[in-house]
Structure 1
Amino acid sequence: MSQQPYIPIHKLQDRAPEGIEIRYIDALMTSEDTRKLGIHRDDHYIFMILEEGDVELMIDFQVFPLRPSSIMVIQPGQVHAYKCGVPLRGWFVAMDALMMGEMVKKSLEENIIEPQPRQVSGAVLQELIEIARILYHHSQQESYLFQATVIHSLAAAFVSLFTSSYAAVASAGPENLSRASWITRQFRALVTRYFRTEKSPSAYAQRLHYSLPHLNESVKQVTGFTVSYWIQYETMLEARRMLYFTDLDVKEIAAELGYEDPAYFTRLFNKSVGQTPLQFRKGAKVH
């Protein structure tokens, strides 16, 4: 495994200042193509539609197979890489969160926390493909009156349909979920946003306007784990990313994650992962 001083972040602004990039994939993606992309994070959302072929996605130490008639969303900050070596047909849409309506963005944050490909019906697949095709067409045109408005409207339609198709309850409110499930989704979304700076369970309870016992009971009922577990889970996941993909030392990683005492961070990591940070990094180097 080749390590770097940091995990590369691919910035959409560098490629598409307008906040959206659409590509149609109709070729053989070789190992060299995917090697160039490498392991990285994005500062934007990636929406994938696979019509034909097979893709393997590595997202945060898990491998997800993407099959024909599947869709997938990768959220900002998730460390990932692609592996595909067969002829592919499909669409790849990179989108800045600013291009999305607030309700759709909130739905993505709260409901699509765990990555997972989704099989969709032929009718839904064709609708998504058609919107992506029209969006691509207008994005490639020479500048015309109201072009930005047209692109924004099409992008909103695409991401709204994609999100509602990706998760059956993506746009559902509390009336369509158990109360505990709704609370848990709100909590998990907050943790992914604030885990670096906020480690106190009571702080999350305050942000959500619930008592800590009520929040703990709800989260444990849905997931089987406590509020403290999920805060530590997100923190240690980021620690593993940094140990695996960067050459930052343990003290630097501890500081990045909000721990002033590297020894305390090491004890927490050992308790969570079953190895010290250096043992984990040493094991990573042989894979």
Structure 2
Amino acid sequence: MSKQQVVKVQQFDKDVPIEFFKLEDNIELFNFDYHYQCNFYQIYWFTKTQNSSQLIDFESYDITDDQVWVIYPGQMHNIDPTGIKGYLVSVNKDYFNRIIAQEFKQQKFRLHPPLWFELSKDKKALFNALMILFEEEWNTQKRTVVLEKYLSIYITHIQDLKELYQDNPLIDTRVLKLLELVEEHYTKPYHTSFYADKIALSVKRMNELVVKSTEITLNQHIQNRLLLEAKRLIGYSDLNIQEISAELGYSEVNYFNRFFKKQTGITPLVFRTNVKKVQ
């Protein structure tokens, strides 16, 4: 496997939707020569770091002690775990979405990734106790019903931490539905009226809600999602540009090339070359 390819990762056991790992005891899970793209959520609590950083969707982020990070399904992720201590809880996507629908009063996990939080000193003993509970259950019976309860408590307390990236506002649930629809349909050439119909609003009113909550229009959300997926495929797949264009719903590769250059200032082939140089 070349470094230009991404490793597609699934959870170990489809019957256990919540998994628990101590980072320092499971370094073999990470080969930092490659990028990983998981089909599940990952919640990292980094307890000890050493001038550490990670790459998420082409951006580098520093990691410091007592940060909690959420890596979303489909994100390109690369981390060297050498010298890092902490915990990883991986969660099936459907499971995670069901739990946060119940527990997250501010829906902080429903907007723009990546997302990370600062663990305050007064919360550290509580988080340590939760990790002990996770570890005990994981190393013994692995009962989903128990792990789910621990996860629900964990998520409830994470939402009380200081969010380091941005303060996501409490937004209209219809906007959350729209963002989910974008994730599901962004490769399809649907007009904005398709999305407006799904939440029983006019296009004008829909865009007013989206801009108020996220500061960009629905069309911009769709374009941003297309661009991110294009970067992932161009940088970390063996597909040629025409195949990528077709996969993203473009009838002609020239249309895709114009879209990509307009958004990034460079052609897809130049972007691929630049990514390979970095690798």
TM over 0.5: yes
Tell me the equivalent position of 1:24.
22
SS in 1 for 2:133: helix
- Write out aligned runs for 1:158-173 (5 A): 158-165=154-161
Q: Structure 1: which amino acid aligns with 2:85?
A: R
Letter in 2 for 1:76: P
TM-score, length-scaled by structure 1:
0.80
Q: Distance in 1 between matches of 2:37 and 2:202?
A: 35
Contact 2:23–2:81 at 8 Å: present in 1 too? no
Q: How many residue pairs end up in the alignment? A: 271
Alignment partner of 2:256 out of 222, 243, 265: 265
Secondary structure in 2 matching 1:286: helix
| Residue aligned with 1:90, SS | strand
**Alignment correspondent of 1:3:** 4
Deviation, structure 1 residue 21: 1.6
Partners of 2:32 and 2:21 in 1: CA distance: 17
| 1:249 alignment counterpart | 240
Aligned match of 1:89: 85
Q: Does 1:41 align with 2:30?
A: no
> In structure 2, how many angstroms separate the alpha carbons of the residues matched to 1:163 and 1:44?
19
The 5 Å alignment of 1:1-287 reads 2-4=3-5, 7-12=6-11, 14-15=12-13, 17-26=15-24, 34-35=30-31, 38-54=34-50, 55-86=52-83, 88-100=84-96, 102=98, 104-105=100-101, 107=104, 111-142=110-141, 147-165=143-161, 177=170, 184-197=175-188, 199-287=190-278
The separation in 1 between residues aligned to 2:159 and 2:200, in whole angstroms, is 27
Q: Distance in 2 between matches of 1:101 and 1:34?
A: 25
Q: Give how far 1:166 is off.
A: 6.7
Q: Structure 1 residues 126 and 198, CA, compared in 2 at 3 Å: closer, same or farther?
A: farther
Counterpart residue identity of residue 80, structure 2: K
Tell me, what secondary structure is at the counterpart of 1:22? strand
SS at match of 1:35: coil
Deviates more, 1:218-227 or 1:50-59: 218-227
Identity %: 22
Whole-angstrom CA distance in 2 between matches of 1:281 and 1:73? 27
C-alpha deviation, 1:140, in angstroms: 1.1
CA RMSD of aligned residues (A): 3.2
Structure 1 unaligned segments of length 5 or more: list them.
none
Helix, strand or coil for the counterpart of 2:271? helix
State the distance in 2 between where 1:56 and 1:140 align.
29
CA–CA distance in structure 2, aligned partners of residues 8 and 282 of structure 1: 20
> Once the two structures are superposed, what CA deviation does each residue of 1:194-251 show, in whole Å capped at 9, x if it has no partner?
3123543222222232221122233334544322122111101110111011120111
Q: Structure 1 residues 258 and 166, CA, compared in 2 at 3 Å: closer, same or farther?
A: farther
Structure 2 CA distance for partners of 1:279 and 1:89, relative to 1, 3 Å: closer
| Distance in 1 separating the partners of 2:139 and 2:30 | 25
- Segments of 5+ residues of structure 2 without an aligned counterpart are none
Contact 1:191–1:231 (8 Å) recurs in 2 = yes
What whole-Å deviation, never above 9, does each CA across 1:166-206 have from its counterpart, x for those lacking one?
759xxx9xxx8365xx6554433432333123543222222
Alpha-carbon distance between aligned partners in 1 of 2:207 and 2:123, rounded to the nearest angstrom: 38
TM-score in terms of structure 2 length: 0.82
The verdict on how the C-alpha distance between 1:100 and 1:85 changes in structure 2, with shifts beyond 3 A counting, is: closer
